[in-house]
Amino acid sequence: MEQFRNIGVIGRMNSVKVVETLRHLRTYLVNENYQVILESETATMLPGHGLQVASKKLLGEICDLVIVVGGDGSLLGAARELAKSKIPLLGVNRGRLGFLTDISPDDLEERVGRVLQGEYIEEHRFLLDAHVTRNENPVSFGTALNDVVLHPGKSTRMIGFDLYIDGHFVYSQRSDGLIVSTPTGSTAYSLSAGGPIMHPKLDAVVLVPMFPHTLSSRPIVVDGKSEIKLVIGEDNETYPQVSCDGQMDIACAPGDVIRITKKPFKIRLIHPTDHNFYATCREKLGWASNIAAS
């Protein structure tokens, strides 16, 4: 197992509970003689910390592991920033669901300690890149670990768009938009819109229509290496948006083209050895326990 000595720490801003956990984590890591580097914004929450400070980008260059304290959204943001550096990420949950941040603050020392001693499992998750062009000229670009979503923004009007997969025309649709989700995002926004739950090991992408203006429109699961192209109809009266993980918005216009492809590198997620995807689903989604055992 990989040895971790230089530990980067990122925390969600504006949370008293996150600050409490950051203090606890800092004390533990320093007492165990690890080299701790705080992300620059996170450092502002711990005045007098006495630690090295670095940007997210630099963390990816100098650390062996980055620990993210917050919710899944915090880890999503860190993943997009650090994916290229291929540095492993470990999540401490101070959010709500915690599909990605699976260490509880209540047993932080024990669980983090075991990981740092080499008792962990690692999985690789792929991300999506979204390129928006207008008249064949680049407009903007975004990256998502969970999903890329075409939506009407503040407007209540439907969006008309054409869908192509690997250059093949699939359909024209009028709806509130389309969710293009990775397996990681299949338990997030995609799930609330009626999409399937996909195991994280799958190399697949699901396309989930949002309130389509037809009863026959259903989610489609395609190969993860597919190129997905959305062409916004010229006759749209609204200017829709493309969101990446719900954290970055790209303003679009009628006639714009959105191309969505798999990013060429993956993120590395670290979990305690008892991590189990189905157990996480049972806990977070309220699935029934074993009836035979009750």
CA separation for the pair 86, 284 (Å, rounded): 28
- Amino acid occupying residue 182: T
216 carries a ligand binding annotation: no
102 carries a ligand binding annotation: no
Q: In what order do the strands lie in the sheet with 241-244?
A: 220-223, 204-210, 177-181, 147-151, 241-244, 248-251
**Active-site option among 64, 72, 162, 274:** 72
CA separation for the pair 279, 147 (Å, rounded): 23
Q: Which H or E run contains 184? A: none
129 carries a ligand binding annotation: no
Angle at 75 between CA 145 and CA 7, to 5 degrees: 125
174 carries a ligand binding annotation: yes
72 carries a ligand binding annotation: yes
- Strand-pairing partners, residue 262, are 128
157 carries a ligand binding annotation: yes
- Please name which of 223, 226, 239 lies closest in space to residue 161, comparing C-alpha atoms: 239
Catalytic annotation present for 72: yes
35 carries a ligand binding annotation: no
Residue at token pair 């230089």: 6
239 carries a ligand binding annotation: no
Q: Is 38 left (phi over 0), alpha (psi -120 to 50) or beta?
A: beta
CB distance 80 to 246 below 8 Å: no
137 carries a ligand binding annotation: no
191 carries a ligand binding annotation: yes
Tell me which residues are annotated as active site. Answer: 72
- Residues marked as binding for NAD(+)? 72-73, 146-147, 157, 174, 176, 187-192, 247
List binding-site positions. 72-73, 146-147, 157, 174, 176, 187-192, 247
